[in-house]
Structure 1
Amino acid sequence: MTFTQTFTAQPADIDELGHVNNAVWVRWIQELSVAHWAAIAPPAHQAAYVWMITRHVIDYRGNVVEGETVTGETWVPDPPRGARFDRHFRFLGTDGKLRVEGVTTWALLDRATGRLLRITPEIAAPFQP
């Protein structure tokens, strides 16, 4: 149940050290996760719910320079806990080497009220192995 998407480092993504800035990695993590939701969740769920990140754990294993492409992979290995679940991710270079990996904790919100909601088995099912 792994979802993949590619990202290419643009000039604006590069920091003073000559590689992708940490804030850009966070943006790519969010874009990857949101694309996974948009690709798999039923339209009714997308209209009714929105996700909020409550925690990031990110391990930087290698650098990415301008023009380099990485493949982001994300998956949800475990069932949700109440309103939250952990989404794992990693980014691999074209050489297959790991650049970044980690886990984000997401919380489900009712789009209309902004209140936390328990993740039902129906909502989780498309993302579970």
Structure 2
Amino acid sequence: MPWDYPQPFTQPAVPQAQDIDGLNHTNNAVYVQWCEKTAWAHSRALGLDLHDYHRLDRAMAIRRSAYDYLLPSVVGDALTLGTWLVDSDGKLTMERRFQLIRNHDQATVLRGHWELVCIELGSGKPRRMPEEFCRAYLPALATR
């Protein structure tokens, strides 16, 4: 597939009838939900899950998100959603990218990105990433 970055973490997606809006294509909010589920699956694959976030009283929270909806998808379209961690200062911030590809023609349906900041769950205030985050996330940073 024509990925924007090498070696994406991928998840399959297929729009169902309940995902379709009044314009007869997949509702934009569904794509956002798929991105969130894929990001968590990627984090778990790297060794950090929600339990770890609570145990450490830290989380990578979305500070800013943006999505470019490039093409529609419809019921039954076989899609593949890829994600990467692409940047981090190793202290407080990270960036995650997404690309959704329609399998049959290899067309990119969506691109998205999140700017993430490490927060202390108890206060919601920005805090330095714990060593466990750095060990799991930093080696996974993609390069073009």
- Shorter-chain TM range is 0.7 to 0.9
SS at match of 2:87: coil
Superposition deviation, residue 113 in structure 1:
4.7
Residue 26 of structure 2 corresponds to residue 20 of structure 1: yes
CA 82–125 in structure 1, closer or farther in 2 if over 3 Å, else same: closer
Q: How do residues 47-126 of structure 1 correspond to structure 2 at under 5 angstroms? A: 47-48=55-56, 49-80=58-89, 82-95=91-104, 96-119=106-129, 121-126=134-139
Task: Find the partner of 2:11 among 5, 9, 12.
Answer: 5
Superposition deviation, residue 115 in structure 1:
3.5
Describe the superposition over 1:19-67 as per-residue Cα deviations: whole angstroms up to 9, x where unpaired.
1111111111111111111111256844423332121111111111012
Q: Distance in 1 between matches of 2:35 and 2:48?
A: 21
**What is the aligned-residue identity percentage?**
26
Partner of 1:36: 42
2:82 is aligned with what amino acid? E
Indicate if the aligned counterparts of 1:15 and 1:21 stay in contact, CA closer than 8 A.
Answer: yes
Superposition deviation, residue 90 in structure 1:
0.2
- CA-based RMSD: 2.2
Q: Distance in 1 between matches of 2:123 and 2:64?
A: 22
Aligned length: 129
Q: Distance in 2 between matches of 1:14 and 1:42?
A: 32
Question: What residue ranges of structure 1 are gaps of 5+ in the alignment?
Answer: none
Q: Distance in 2 between matches of 1:87 and 1:78?
A: 7
Q: Distance in 2 between matches of 1:78 and 1:13?
A: 32
CA 28–126 in structure 1, closer or farther in 2 if over 3 Å, else same: same
